[in-house]
């Protein structure tokens, strides 16, 4: 007799419909649903605008339940932790999929107390992978807090803004310092690609919002 399909919890700190997180979760949830798996999505803040609202709707349609917990953060709070424990037991969750380095501690603790399997997924952020963040000079990524569990790094708390240099982009266009919403792709020193104004050149130092993976301004340096 074939084992019943598991009930899976997706645990994500933030669902930003303007980057790849919403699409990633929707694609995975749709594929699992086709195999009879019920997905219970738990997230912190949900960010969308008029252009990305359709992504939020597609994700909501792909999961059985979506629990939005505004206070969800990288470090567990007791009240939210107990709420998640209750949710896991009520829905007979057998697999917890945590997405993002910051949620690993949540997944490990919840798995330890419930017996569910913890699966962790991660895609490189605007800062690159965890090794790059840990080994980076403090002048680039300070302040960075690395969370350790059993002497292993399991999470990283990043600054809201970092300064990164452009290593590749099309040549800047003179006079386009106020080019409105017209942008072009630029590759940063970590390998991440962000949209920048047309006047940005290779070698420019940029202030980047790590929460939105977004250009803020060009700075001197």
Identify the domain boundary among 121, 153, 174. Answer: 121
In a domain, 133, yes or no: no
Identify the domain boundary among 121, 145, 174. Answer: 121
Band of residue 194 on the pLDDT scale cut at 50, 70, 90: confident
Average pLDDT, the chain: 79
Residues 174 and 109 reside in one and the same domain: no
Rounded Cα–Cα distance for residues 204 and 107 (Å): 39
> For position 11, what pLDDT does the model report?
93
Q: What is the mean pLDDT of residues 62-88?
A: 89
Q: What share of the chain is helix, strand, coil (3-state, %, to 5)?
A: 30, 35, 40
Residue 175 has pLDDT above 70, yes or no: no
Residues 22 and 111 reside in one and the same domain: yes
Angstrom CA distances, 51 to 54, 192, 212, stand at 7, 22, 15
> For position 89, what pLDDT does the model report?
93
Q: What is the mean pLDDT of residues 4-30?
A: 83
Residue 162 has pLDDT above 70, yes or no: yes
Rounded Cα–Cα distance for residues 60 and 71 (Å): 20
Q: What is the pLDDT of residues 111-160, one digit of tens each?
A: 888 889 888 876 555 555 555 555 555 444 444 445 444 555 545 555 67
Number of compact structural domains in the chain: 2
Q: Which two tokens stand for residue 172?
A: 């800047």
Quick one: residue 71, left, alpha or beta (phi over 0 = left, psi -120 to 50 = alpha)? Answer: alpha
Residues 29 and 101 reside in one and the same domain: yes
Q: Which two tokens stand for residue 18?
A: 């303007």
Task: Provide the whole-model pTM.
Answer: 0.58
Which residue has better confidence, 156 or 63?
A: 63
Of the candidates 75, 39, 60, 36, the residue with the CA atom closest to the CA atom of residue 154: 75
**CA atoms within a 13 Å half-sphere pointing along the CA-CB vector of 184:** 16
Angstrom CA distances, 153 to 4, 75, 147, stand at 34, 14, 6
Which residue has better confidence, 204 or 139?
A: 204
Range name among 46-50, 77-81, 157-161 with the lowest pLDDT average:
157-161
Domain of residue 82 covers 7-121
Which residue has better confidence, 91 or 102?
A: 91
Residues 106 and 166 reside in one and the same domain: no
Rounded Cα–Cα distance for residues 174 and 195 (Å): 18
């Amino acid at each position: 007799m074939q084992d019943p399909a598991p009930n899976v919890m997706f645990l994500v700190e933030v669902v930003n419909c303007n980057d790849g997180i919403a699409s990633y979760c929707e694609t995975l949830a749709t594929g699992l649903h086709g195999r009879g798996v019920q997905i219970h999505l738990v997230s912190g803040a949900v960010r969308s605008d008029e252009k990305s609202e359709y992504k939020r709707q597609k994700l909501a349609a792909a999961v059985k339940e979506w629990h939005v917990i505004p206070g969800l953060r990288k470090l567990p709070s007791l009240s939210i932790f107990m709420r998640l424990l209750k949710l896991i037991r009520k829905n007979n969750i057998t697999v917890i999929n945590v997405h993002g380095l910051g949620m690993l501690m949540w997944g490990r603790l919840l798995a330890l107390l419930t017996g569910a399997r913890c699966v962790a997924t991660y895609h490189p952020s605007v800062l690159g992978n965890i090794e790059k963040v840990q080994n980076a000079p403090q002048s680039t990524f300070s302040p960075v807090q690395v969370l350790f569990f059993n002497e292993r790094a399991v999470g990283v708390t990043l600054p809201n803004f970092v300064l990164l240099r452009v290593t590749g982009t099309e040549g800047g266009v003179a006079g386009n310092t106020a080019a409105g919403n017209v942008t072009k792709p630029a590759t940063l020193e970590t390998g991440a690609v962000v949209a920048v104004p047309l006047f940005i050149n290779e070698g420019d130092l940029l202030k980047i919002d790590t929460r939105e993976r977004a250009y803020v301004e060009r700075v001197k340096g």
